[in-house]
Structure 1
């Protein structure tokens, strides 16, 4: 099931997609007409609806069918964040992305070392060790904690902060937790996933290189805390989990396809991510965990860079998309 949130002034309610008619239904308004007994958290809070699982989906489908049949409560929702995210954990999902991004950073910033690295890889037929993920990536899911307060909605402008000259997008998906877990097994963690959403982990690549080389806390401090974006539509896990390793994806900038990729080859599952993250701590409803960048899902990997005024659309089959215009840099920053 595809669900989203309607934000109209102080009104916050759930909208559900009616597949046969390709129509969105205001679930709270439909409940007010057809079944006031279910009106409340399940029709007004998306996380609560997701947590109700089959009971919630059955109720939403029943109301949507009646609403469409009687031409009541059908809406065209404006883009909005589907949930109020309470925390953000960003995982590393694909070794191929890491390797491609690392090669691009070295080519761009350590040109003198590049011939040696290429010779090593050509002769040895393997990736230069320093350009592979850390050893821990093979042992358990790897992640950093991002800034959930700077997540922007589908259609919002991506800000260009004054401390970077090299802005980049990153094509990812995220999962939202809908009930608490702690020290969960992968199966228990998977059962806590309420929905899937497309995510853009916006990055400042010149800052990333500087932080990687000189910071005590690694390359994800100011590099990634100023902005990210997420789609307006969330899809329930019953529609995604059976296909999670075989979803096509794309990056389109101003109508031109820059990259085509897929979710194939992900090292750890979302259940693995959340299981690891829940060790010794509670993860609760509204927390967001993201997949890391799909291979070739960033400008860094393909050496193609977004510019102010361009519109970036990231899409993943069955999950959805997120589209945002790139804002103008401040006067202190000149993109190159």
Structure 2
């Protein structure tokens, strides 16, 4: 009878249960040091060790490739945190990560020639280009990907519904939304709207501004000007809504920046909420209220997923959805007199 669970064994070894499973099955994708540590702990705990544990599969390259990880304005912690998590997950699997920054629509030669174990593609929305699928090696997409792809993502609708509830609980009953014209953006908008409506609030249709390919600092500032223009004036904007949700924290920071230039104080005159908990290093304003994404864990799980796919080549495509949480911030204030 087992005296310890696989999950507990994983905690003792400081790795995931998936890695323990691979080590005990003798599967490739686990570093020798990690494998030996797991086997030693298993023996000490009396956990059954299959005979295959000492017979790993054929040797792999020990390298995985990542596409779609880049920085912006020198202050993008979103991609850097995903990449750090990916490196940790790859190390756990006895592998290293090779970052590729070439053409988005072609596989790197090391992938085309199958000189890496697998590839992870970070794809923020459905408009982001990617090389032909399926890939020459096992592949995992982050956030969104082709229908038959393995994907690590979050529930955008449910996450933003929780954010909408949090904003509404501060007394806000009229809000707007700024973001790119993408499926994920509309999913976040729908969730935020549902959360607001749950407490009697609403997202003003006239204060929703979507723009194709929006995502950088300048586009967020442009969206802010578009919103003010659609309302006719800054004063009319403040009359119509008391809060704005912005697609992500990078853009939210730029919106706060532009509103300040227009004489709108955040959060005294306008509350701002974001998404992802990855504000840029250049941001100077109040802590952004947001939905925190487990960015490091997303990267780590994607790396682990590649090696799971290597050992399960015929398994159906899987979609791993990780949990998020709402983080309060000074950028959202209670409505006076609520």
Structure 1 or 2, whichever has the larger Rg, is 2
Q: TM-score, normalised by structure 1?
A: 0.26
Counting helix residues as a fraction of each chain, which structure ranks higher?
2
Query: Please, what TM-score do these two structures have when normalized by structure 2?
Result: 0.25
